Chain A
Amino acid sequence: MADDSSHDDGPVQGRRGFLGQASNFAMAAGLVGGYGAFGAVAARYLYPARPDTGSWQFVADLARLGVGDSLRYQAPGGETVNITRRARDGVAEDFIALSSTCPHLGCQVHWEDANQRYFCPCHNGVFDSAGVGTAGPPGDAGQTLPRYPLRVDGNLLFIRVPTARLVADAASSGRVIDDDCASAPGHDPCLSPLARPPRDGELG
Chain B
Amino acid sequence: MSAIAQWFQDCLPVSPEVIREMTNEPVPNHMKRWWFALGGTPAYLFVIQIITGILLAFYYETSTGSAYASVRYITEEAAFGWYLRSVHKWAATLMIAAVVLHQMRVYFTGAYRKPREINWIIGMFLLLCTLTLGFTGYSLVFEQLSFWGATVGANMADSVPVIGGFVKNLMLAGETYNSRTLSRFFVLHAAVLPVALIGLLVVHIMIIRLQGVTEFKFKDEDESKPKTFSFFPDHMYTELMLGLFLMILLSALATIFPASMGPEADPLTTPEVIKPEWFFYVVFRWLKLFPGTFAILSTGFVVFIMFTWPFIDAQIRKRTRFQEASVWIGIVGVLAIIALTMWEALVAH
Contact = CB atoms under 8 A, between A and B. Distances in A.
Touch between A and B in complex, CB under 8 Å?
Answer: yes
Interface of A: 1, 4, 6-8, 27, 30-31, 34, 38, 41-42, 44-47, 49, 168
Given A45-B78, A45-B80, 11 more contacts: A6-B229, A7-B229, A8-B229, A31-B244, A34-B244, A41-B83, A42-B55, A42-B84, A45-B55, A45-B79, A46-B58
Interface residue SS majority, chain A: helix
Contacts of B247: 34, 38
Contacts of B215: none
B84 A41 contact: yes
A44 B79 contact: yes
B232 A4 contact: yes
Contacts of B78: 45, 49
B324 interface: no
Q: Which interface class (under 10, 10 to 19, 20 to 34, 35 or more) fits B?
A: 20 to 34
A38 B79 CA distance: 13
18 contacts: A1-B233, A4-B233, A6-B229, A6-B234, A7-B225, A8-B225, A27-B240, A30-B244, A38-B247, A41-B83, A42-B51, A42-B80, A44-B80, A45-B55, A45-B81, A47-B79, A49-B77, A49-B79
Contacts of B79: 44-45, 47, 49
Contacts of B232: 1, 4
B230 A4 contact: yes
Contacts of B83: 41
Contacts of A4: 230, 232-233
A46 B55 contact: yes
B84 A168 contact: no
Nearest to B32: A8
Nearest to A38: B247
A31 B239 CA distance: 13
A45 B79 CA distance: 5
Most buried by B among A4, A38, A46: A38
A4 B235 CA distance: 12
Contacts of A38: 247
B62 to A, nearest CB: 14
Interface in B73-90: 77-81, 83-84
Contact of B66 (A31, A44, A168): A168
Contacts of B51: 42
B69 interface: yes
Contacts of A47: 79
B226 interface: yes
Contacts of B225: 7-8
B80 A41 contact: yes
